[in-house]
């Protein structure tokens, strides 16, 4: 199956327009996830979204070592976990991922979250790190400089961000030497982040969408009352019936039509194949895309409560909803109105 690709302007490289996510959502074992990667490669996937915190890069590396495909045909992403921010840690973390995955370079390396707060595996929503603190731009730039060095060393081809906000990304674009090529963010029909998504694309940053199906298997800590269920939305169900497909396919077609690279996670061959076929054929009409545009209900599923610091009001402090970074130390380093509006 011919998988569509997207071009990265800064380098001319091309990335497959769909990937397989490898976060096991606290209920898929490392071996099961590695087997899913093997199945995906057999079906034609060439884009694998990994992260050190998922704890399964070594098992995935064994699959990559034995699967008969050239390294240059693969797109492999990994991510810097929150406890490895700062000088000296970034290189060590990247080298560990390279070693575990058994590759000489990464196509993309992302800063997983923009602050150094972390949580233990399989924790519940009340978990908090004693050392948690808000976003401090000077500290983030220290980490970003290390990310830039990885490019200089040839260890990674592209660098990017994940779980950023417009306010934070605006500051990064102002101060960086190497611009992020990608921003990984939660995107699905019931949470479209339309303004931020437009800004990301205007900056020639490619959006990668996690939770593209609405993530029904996300950890319990990320579930709250009132969360939207994308695949049960009547408009999505109606359009799926017209296309004679599962509602999940409509979510992926929506992402592809909006220039988003979705990274759905599944361990079932049937679903993996269907996901791949969803973006390769039978696109949505303009009328259907307009219908889907209006079902956005701002239903963020991954709220990030476990990353909160002591003084934080609630999870909304993580996302700079009013365009202001919620951190006293950052009051002297906020994006100006002109920068935020893209006029500077």
Neighbours of 118 (CB within 10 A): 20
Q: What phi and psi values does residue 216 have, to the nearest 5 degrees?
A: -65, -20
Distance CA 339, CA 173 (A): 10
Q: Are strands 5-7 and 14-16 parallel, antiparallel or unpaired?
A: antiparallel
The active-site residue, picked from 45, 54, 135, 199, is: 54
Q: Two tokens at 185?
A: 């963010």
How is 331-344 classified by DSSP, letter by letter?
A: TTS---HHHHTT--
Catalytic-residue membership of 45: no
The helix/strand count (H/E) of the chain reads as 11, 10
Q: How far apart are the first and last CA of the chain?
A: 44
Tokens of 202: 């205007």
Q: What angle do CA 318, 124, 320 make, to 5 degrees?
A: 5
- Tokens 């239903």 belong to 299
Alpha helices in the chain (DSSP H): 30-43, 57-66, 89-101, 137-152, 166-175, 194-202, 234-243, 247-257, 269-278, 286-293, 337-340
CA distance 209 to 262: 5
Yes or no: say if 135 and 330 are a contact pair by the CB < 8 Å rule.
Answer: yes
The 10 Å Cβ neighbour count of residue 208 is 26
Both tokens of 128, joined, read 């908090």
The DSSP string of 220-250 is: GGG--TT---GGG-HHHHHHHHHHTS-HHHH
- 178 neighbors 172 (Cβ within 8 angstroms): no
Residues belonging to the active site:
54
């Amino acid at each position: 199956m011919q998988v569509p690709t997207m071009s990265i302007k800064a380098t001319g490289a091309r990335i497959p327009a769909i990937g397989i996510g490898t976060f096991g959502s606290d209920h898929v074992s490392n071996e099961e996830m590695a087997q899913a990667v093997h199945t995906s490669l057999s079906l034609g996937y060439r884009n694998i979204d990994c992260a050190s915190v998922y704890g399964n890069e070594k098992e995935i590396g064994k699959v990559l070592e034995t699967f008969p495909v050239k390294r240059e045909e693969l797109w492999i992403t990994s991510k810097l976990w929150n406890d490895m921010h700062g000088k000296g840690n970034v290189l060590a973390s990247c080298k560990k991922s390279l070693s575990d995955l058994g590759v000489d370079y990464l196509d993309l390396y992302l800063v997983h979250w923009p602050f150094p707060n972390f949580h233990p595996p399989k924790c519940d929503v009340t978990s908090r790190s004693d050392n948690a603190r808000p976003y401090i731009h000077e500290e983030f730039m220290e980490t970003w400089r290390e990310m830039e060095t990885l490019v200089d060393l040839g260890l990674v081809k592209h660098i990017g961000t994940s779980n950023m906000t417009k306010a934070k990304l605006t500051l990064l674009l102002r101060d960086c030497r190497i611009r992020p090529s990608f921003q990984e963010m939660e995107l699905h029909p019931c949470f479209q982040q339309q303004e931020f998504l437009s800004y990301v694309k205007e900056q020639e940053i490619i959006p990668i969408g996690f939770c593209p199906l609405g993530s029904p298997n996300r950890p319990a800590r990320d579930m709250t009352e009132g969360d939207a269920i994308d695949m049960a939305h009547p408009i999505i169900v109606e359009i799926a019936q017209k296309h004679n497909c599962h509602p999940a396919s409509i979510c992926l077609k929506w992402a592809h039509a909006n220039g988003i690279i979705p990274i759905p996670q599944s361990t079932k061959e049937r679903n993996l194949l269907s996901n791949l076929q969803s973006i390769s054929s039978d696109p949505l009409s303009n009328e259907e895309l307009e219908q889907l545009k209006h079902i956005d209900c701002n239903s963020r599923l991954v709220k990030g409560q476990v990353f909160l610091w002591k003084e934080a009001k609630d999870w909304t402090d993580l996302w700079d909803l009013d365009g202001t970074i919620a951190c006293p130390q950052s009051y002297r380093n906020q994006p100006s109105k002109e920068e935020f509006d893209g006029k500077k």
